[in-house]
Amino acid sequence: MIAVKRLQSLFWVLLVALGALGAYLVSLRVATERNELMRVRTQIAQARADIRYLETEFAARSSIRQLEQWNAQDFRYSARAADQYLDGERALAHLDGVEANGPAYVAPPVMVAMIDTDAAPPAQAAQPVASPAALEIRSDISTIRTASAEAARSQPSRVALTAPAPVKESKAPSAKKKDDNAKEPAGSRLARADQGESALARRAERMAMLDARLLDDRTLGDIGRKAAVEKRGSVN
């Protein structure tokens, strides 16, 4: 009985060892197959790259005539000749026509701001603008003065050209007044006419100055503000 139990335990040990060995062999086979699969995939990718390269080469060779035509017309590429090769560095150093790749470094020019001496003069101070009413009144005053001056200049010539007509004596007082006026010298009559015109001119000038005082900028502004306030009050 003891020997049977010992053989049975040994049998179980051998069975477990065989199972472990079989599992190891299976895992090893799986790893081998996996490596083989990766190698096949790599070969497939390389084959696809070769196929693309061959397709490109076939396409280029099929259009070689077009490429030659483009080269002859546009690119003008050509193979190197034997005389284009040099023996060494000395021949390269003594080669005629070798120029630098570009000029030496030159600093960019410095931009300097210049002051324009012929600048426009500063703007003058703005003068106060007179109101239209004052301007109109001043123009009226100047017109009156000009008219009075012209009348004064033309009056002596009229008096010199027109001689007094002979007046008969009469008993009526009006006739005596006419005779007195006729007997008066031309200078006195001219002075009287100038006095009347100057009085009219002064009167017109006084009226114009009064209107200018009444209708100055401040008065017009006050009137406008009052009208705006009244308009707002009526609207409200």
pLDDT at residue 215 above 50?
yes
Do 212 and 134 contact (CB within 8 A), yes or no?
A: yes
CB atoms within 10 A of CB 205: 15
Going by pLDDT thresholds of 50, 70 and 90, the confidence category of residue 103 is: low
pLDDT of residue 186: 55
Phi, psi of 100 (to 5 degrees): -65, 155
Q: Is 112:186 a contact under the CB 8 Å cutoff? A: no
98 CB contacts (<8 Å, ≥6 apart)?
92
Q: Is the pLDDT of residue 48 over 90?
A: yes
Q: For the residues 145-165, what does the mean pLDDT come to?
A: 54
Write out pLDDT tens, residues 104-129.
555 566 666 666 665 545 544 445 45
- Per-domain residue ranges of the chain: 2-71, 132-162+171-235
Q: Which two tokens stand for residue 14?
A: 């051998």
How many Å apart are CA 83 and CA 200, to the nearest integer? 118
- Predicted local confidence at residue 12, as pLDDT: 87
Backbone angles phi, psi at 172, to 5 degrees: -75, 145
Looking at residues 68-80, what average pLDDT do you find?
84
The full length of the chain comes to 236
Residue pair 92/86 in contact (Cβ under 8 Å)? The answer is yes
Q: Give residue 207's pLDDT.
A: 79
pLDDT at residue 228, rounded to an integer: 84
